[in-house]
Structure 1
Amino acid sequence: MATTKSQSLPETCRALVCLEKGHVEVQSVPTPNAVPGSVVVRIISAVVEPVAKSIFSEGLPGLWFPTPYIPGTRAIGRVAAIGSDTTSLKLDQFVILDPHIRGRDDSNVQLLWGAGVFGGNPAANALMEGSWRNGMYAEYARAPLENCYALNESILMGSPSSGGLGYSAAVLASVMRYAVAYGGLRSIDLKAGETIIIAPATGIYTGAAVEIASAMGARVIAASRNIEALNKLAALVPRVQVLQLKGKVEEDLAGLKNFGVIDAYLDMSPFAANESTHVRSCMMAVRQYGRVSLMGVSMKDIPIPYVVAVMNNLTIRGQYMYEREDVFSLIKLVEAGVLKLGNSVGHEVVAEFGLEDYEKAFDVAEQHTEAGKMVLLDL
């Protein structure tokens, strides 16, 4: 009979606990154990998102989370304990954690582990409130088997002189940021050689979309208002051309059409883009039988060019997050060196903080929303 295996774990560990909205503090909590369907991971570094401060002080529109709970949505670490039904993960294995949890008996039940539930699904609320209340801002985290992905440590962290890529754990913590855009791009079957608009394109997740689309072999039209940030992307990422958006539909449409035939468009608009006109311009620029992926968090309805969509036979697809196969494929791109990380492509770990300095980490992360920037909590 299979049994739980573990390293010698302490009875308690440090964690950042959100007691209620506006009240977060470091506490000593019981170290989780590995139950069937899970592993326990010793967290090395956890990503601090720019919206972290807003989530815990005032909340995000449409996001629900239980209290008290341990936040934290993306991290890297090592397996410290395995449940009785674990078949491939091993103790001390180097892993990355994915926050997108789906119900095992109903994949329509979805939550962002360590953040909350969008959309008010009672089953998702119950799943988070019960089994997966606690996220990754802790020395040890219990993770669903499906959300724990093994990384090839010798390739990713090995010396370049020995055929490795020479990445640090801190750099590798960024990998899951690419998964969101990758899921959207795969959902519309982006192919090498095609041309895609990414707009907006200069934020942390939208900049990652530009990079991953280029890594897939596409020509990318990166469109945003910040021309300086656009030019930086174009200088660092292959096959990227840029357009500064002016906020005028016809002018922006004309600028996009100057690039020739456009096969697809990926939108990842943030909350702040509720009043933007770029979605309409970009949709109208896509060729006949082209594809559009909507992945943003705009909370306001947009005026879709209805007749254009009909006459051009556009496929418009909404996409929330990604599939598990997308994550496996993404990791292969990184391990093969096709999707590059680190300083050579303009990435920067802006700062690393200990858990007790979480307030500083939240403040610094809030100020660095540009593509390639990352703030970490080191556990």
Structure 2
Amino acid sequence: MTSQLPETHRALQLISTEEPLQVKSFQTPQPGPGNAVVRVLAANVISYSGEVYNGKRQYPFPRPFVPGSTAIGRIAAVGPDATTLTPGQLVLLDCTIRGRDDPTAIILSGIAQGFTEGGRKLMSGEWRNSTYAEYTKFPLENCIPLNEQRLLGSPSAGGMGYSVEDLCQISRFLVSYGGLDDIGLKPGETVIVAPATGQFGSGAVRVALAMGASRVIAMGRNEAALKQLSTLNDRVATVKITGDEKADAEALKKLGPADVFFDISPPMAAGSTHFKSAIAALRHSGRISLMGGVQADMSFFYIDFMHRNLSMKGTWMYSRAQIFNFIKLIDSGILPLGEKAGLTVSGKFGLEGWQEAFETASKAGTDETVVIAP
């Protein structure tokens, strides 16, 4: 089914990491089998976007291409095999695109082509262009329907009263949900989140609470951010990372023992002592989730790991099934968004404002969201 699409649309294009992004006009994509064309309403700007697109983080992606991230949009047109998606429908555009014939081929749309030949092929071809555009083409399975009446509707009519920009906060929580769900976090358990003072780490604290954790121990170096997290709920406790491995482990044990250690460390945390401190604070049969970006060898004491029956699992992003389960937490109000949850949209920029958007995102607090609204 096809609605009236404009002949052309505007989008940001990256030609080289050594040149500024450019706003250009492109032919508007047309829908085909397996995909939909979506009018982008608001797209997330992650805190380190500037470092991705200037080459500092050396993420692999084709050139030229249209960058982007997870976004909120409206279906503009669908391919002939769409069975439920219809023009006008509000959707979450999930940036995690997988090969249909090989689900291990994964790209992050507009961010990275992953680490396999299959991922390179996906991003170099059909899914080269992402969401920093007025219109984008996305796989049908990555267009996640949202209950517009519930999420955007007036509270007096049973709605949540969120804005479209508030819904962009979903993506930061969804990432940690994938890891916490993968290791089976259960209601009543104690979970250590480290480092918890970044946007994804603080998001993990909120998600763990929504999943029913009886205690969430937030670790980090930023004392102001830890203090802010402690005000979320009386089930949140904090431990500062001091660099003293044993002392930090003892501080954690006094609040535990913990059932789960959720790690979402950035690349610069490779030498941090918190890994061993948190592992030492786990109870027998404790579980460890790795979702960070550390690019280094890590060590642990083999016999201790074995005797305590510990398990470790790495998770990159989340599954489609997990997205739908997570959306239930949002629809139900168990995991609130927007100002009622202390979350704010600190910047909304058009395509021409991309540089200011990246700068604003790099300085944004843990509870702030920055979006590009084409």
Residue 181 of structure 2 aligns to a residue whose secondary structure is helix
The letter of the residue matching 1:156 is L
Shift, 1:7, TM fit: 1.9
In the other structure, the counterpart of 1:269 is 265
Q: State whether residues 198 and 221 of structure 1, in contact with CA within 8 Å, keep that contact through their aligned partners in structure 2.
A: yes
Residue 263 of structure 1 aligns to a residue whose secondary structure is strand
Structural RMSD (CA): 1.1
- Equivalent of 2:138 in 134, 140, 143: 143
The letter of the residue matching 2:306 is V
Q: State whether residues 267 and 293 of structure 2, in contact with CA within 8 Å, keep that contact through their aligned partners in structure 1.
A: yes
Residues in 2 aligned to 1:373 and 1:271: alpha-carbon distance in whole angstroms: 22
Shift, 1:352, TM fit: 0.8
Residues in 2 aligned to 1:373 and 1:299: alpha-carbon distance in whole angstroms: 27
- Determine whether 1:192 maps to 2:187: yes
Q: State whether residues 283 and 305 of structure 1, in contact with CA within 8 Å, keep that contact through their aligned partners in structure 2.
A: no
Specify every segment of 5 or more residues in structure 1 that has no aligned partner in the other structure, as ranges: none
Shift, 1:237, TM fit: 3.9
Residue 313 of structure 2 aligns to a residue whose secondary structure is strand
- Determine whether 1:312 maps to 2:341: no
Q: Deviations over 1:259-314 (max 9, x none)?
A: 13211110000112122111111011111011101111101112223222111100
The letter of the residue matching 1:194 is E
Residues in 2 aligned to 1:287 and 1:332: alpha-carbon distance in whole angstroms: 30
In the other structure, the counterpart of 1:18 is 14
In the other structure, the counterpart of 1:90 is 86
In the other structure, the counterpart of 1:33 is 30
Residues in 1 aligned to 2:250 and 2:56: alpha-carbon distance in whole angstroms: 39
In the other structure, the counterpart of 1:133 is 128
Residues in 2 aligned to 1:367 and 1:105: alpha-carbon distance in whole angstroms: 40
The letter of the residue matching 2:201 is T
- Equivalent of 2:337 in 338, 341, 344: 341
Residues in 2 aligned to 1:188 and 1:349: alpha-carbon distance in whole angstroms: 31
In the other structure, the counterpart of 1:54 is 51
Q: Deviations over 1:174-230 (max 9, x none)?
A: 112211110100110000000000010011111111100100000211111112111
Q: State whether residues 65 and 129 of structure 2, in contact with CA within 8 Å, keep that contact through their aligned partners in structure 1.
A: yes
Residues in 2 aligned to 1:237 and 1:354: alpha-carbon distance in whole angstroms: 36
Q: State whether residues 237 and 345 of structure 1, in contact with CA within 8 Å, keep that contact through their aligned partners in structure 2.
A: no
The count of aligned residue pairs is 372
Identity across the alignment (%):
43
In the other structure, the counterpart of 2:326 is 330
Q: State whether residues 130 and 136 of structure 2, in contact with CA within 8 Å, keep that contact through their aligned partners in structure 1.
A: yes
Q: State whether residues 178 and 319 of structure 2, in contact with CA within 8 Å, keep that contact through their aligned partners in structure 1.
A: yes
In the other structure, the counterpart of 1:173 is 168
In the other structure, the counterpart of 2:211 is 216
In the other structure, the counterpart of 1:105 is 101
Shift, 1:236, TM fit: 2.1
- Determine whether 1:158 maps to 2:156: no
Residue 276 of structure 1 aligns to a residue whose secondary structure is coil
Residue 290 of structure 1 aligns to a residue whose secondary structure is strand
In the other structure, the counterpart of 1:372 is 367
Residues in 1 aligned to 2:83 and 2:133: alpha-carbon distance in whole angstroms: 25
TM-score normalised according to structure 1 size: 0.96
TM-score normalised according to structure 2 size: 0.97
